[in-house]
A and B are shown apart, each in its own frame.
Chain A
Amino acid sequence: MWTDEDTVEVRIDGDRNVALLTVLRDDPDLSFWYLADAAAVDYGLGDHFEVVYHLYSDRHPAWLRVRANVSRNDPRIPTITSLWEGANFHEREMYDMMGIVFDGNRDLRRIYMSPDYRSFPQRRDFLLPDDAADSSAAGVNPLERPETWDLTRDSERLADGSA
Chain B
Amino acid sequence: MTAEPKVIDPLDVERAEEARLRTAAGLSPIGRAGGEYAGFESVGLPDRPPQTEREREVYTLAEGEMLVNMGPQHPSTHGVMRLVLKVRGEVVIDIDPVLGYLHRGIEKLCENATYTTVMTYVDPMDYLSSMHNEHAPAIAFEKLYGVQAPKRAEYIRALVVELNRVFSHGLMMGFLSLDMGGLTPILYGFINRDEVVDMLSAISGQRMLFNFFRVGGVNFDANDEFFSRLGTWRSGVLKTIDMNERILTDNEIFRGRTIGMGVLSGKDAISLGVSGPNLRASGVAFDVRKAHPYSIYPELEFEVITQSGGDVYSRYIQRIAELKQSIHLIDQIVDRMPHGPVQAQVPGIIRPKPGRAYAAVESPRGLYSVYAISDGGPNPYRFRMRDPSFISLQAIPKLMPGHLIADTMAVMASFDPVMGGVDK
Decide whether A and B are members of one complex. Answer: yes
* Contact status A85-B100, CB under 8 Å: no
Q: A2-B294, A122-B108 are in contact. Are A36 and B103 (CB under 8 A)?
A: no
* Contact status A115-B51, CB under 8 Å: yes
Which residues of the other chain, B, contact A33 by a CB distance below 8 angstroms? 270
* Contact status B272-A85, CB under 8 Å: yes
Chain B 272-304 interface 0/1 with A at a Cβ cutoff of 8 Å (1 = within): 111000000000001000011011100000000
A88 CA to B54 CA in the complex, in Å? 12
Is B413 part of the contact surface with A, judged by Cβ < 8 Å? Answer: no
Q: Which of A101-109, A136-144, A152-160 contacts B (4 or more CB under 8 A)?
A: A101-109
* Contact status B55-A109, CB under 8 Å: yes
Is A24 part of the contact surface with B, judged by Cβ < 8 Å? Answer: no
Is B107 part of the contact surface with A, judged by Cβ < 8 Å? Answer: yes
* Chain B at the A interface: SS class: mixed
* Contact status B292-A112, CB under 8 Å: no
A116 CA to B107 CA in the complex, in Å? 22
Name the contact of A121 in the complex, choosing from B108, B390, B423 (C-beta under 8 A): B108
* Contact status B108-A89, CB under 8 Å: no
* Contact status B139-A2, CB under 8 Å: yes
Name the contact of A52 in the complex, choosing from B53, B107, B371, B394 (C-beta under 8 A): B371
Q: Which of B12-70 contact A (CB under 8 A)?
A: 48, 51-55
User: Which partner residue on chain A sits nearest B369 by CB separation?
Assistant: A37
* Contact status B295-A107, CB under 8 Å: no
Which residues of the other chain, A, contact B398 by a CB distance below 8 angstroms? 85
Q: A86-B394, A128-B112 are in contact. Are A113 and B100 (CB under 8 A)?
A: yes
Is A125 part of the contact surface with B, judged by Cβ < 8 Å? Answer: no
Q: Which of B141-149, B161-169, B306-314 contacts A (4 or more CB under 8 A)?
A: B141-149
Which residues of the other chain, B, contact A37 by a CB distance below 8 angstroms? 358, 360, 369, 371, 384, 386
Which residues of the other chain, A, contact B108 by a CB distance below 8 angstroms? 121-122, 128
Name the contact of A54 in the complex, choosing from B291, B369, B373, B394 (C-beta under 8 A): B369
* Contact status A111-B384, CB under 8 Å: no
* Contact status B296-A1, CB under 8 Å: yes
Which residues of the other chain, B, contact A106 by a CB distance below 8 angstroms? 52-54
| Min distance, Cβ B354 to any Cβ of chain A, angstroms | 12
- Most chain A C-beta atoms within 10 Å of own C-beta, residue among B357, B371, B390: B371
Which residues of the other chain, B, contact A86 by a CB distance below 8 angstroms? 271-274, 391, 394
Chain B 352-370 interface 0/1 with A at a Cβ cutoff of 8 Å (1 = within): 0000011110000001010
* Contact status B394-A108, CB under 8 Å: no
* Contact status B286-A112, CB under 8 Å: no
Q: Which of B243-280 contact A (CB under 8 A)?
A: 268, 270-274
Kindly list the 7 A-B residue pairs having the minimum CB-CB distance in the complex, ordered from nearest: A86-B273, A107-B54, A112-B100, A39-B384, A112-B103, A86-B272, A106-B53
Q: Which residues of B contact A (CB under 8 A)?
A: 48, 51-55, 99-100, 103, 105, 107-108, 112, 139, 142-143, 148-149, 154, 268, 270-274, 286, 291-292, 294-296, 357-360, 367, 369, 371, 373, 382, 384, 386, 390-391, 393-394, 398, 423-424
Q: Which residues of A contact B (CB under 8 A)?
A: 1-2, 4, 6-7, 33-37, 39, 41-42, 52, 54, 56, 58, 61, 63, 65, 84-90, 97, 106-116, 121-122, 128, 130
22 pairs of residues in contact across A and B, judged by CB atoms under 8 Å: A2-B139, A2-B142, A7-B358, A34-B270, A36-B360, A36-B367, A41-B382, A56-B292, A63-B360, A65-B358, A85-B273, A85-B398, A86-B271, A86-B273, A89-B273, A106-B54, A110-B100, A111-B100, A112-B99, A112-B103, A121-B105, A122-B107
A37-B358, A112-B100, A112-B424 given; 19 more Cβ-contact pairs under 8 Å: A7-B358, A33-B270, A37-B369, A37-B386, A42-B382, A56-B292, A63-B358, A85-B271, A85-B272, A85-B273, A86-B271, A106-B52, A106-B54, A107-B55, A111-B100, A113-B100, A116-B48, A121-B108, A130-B112
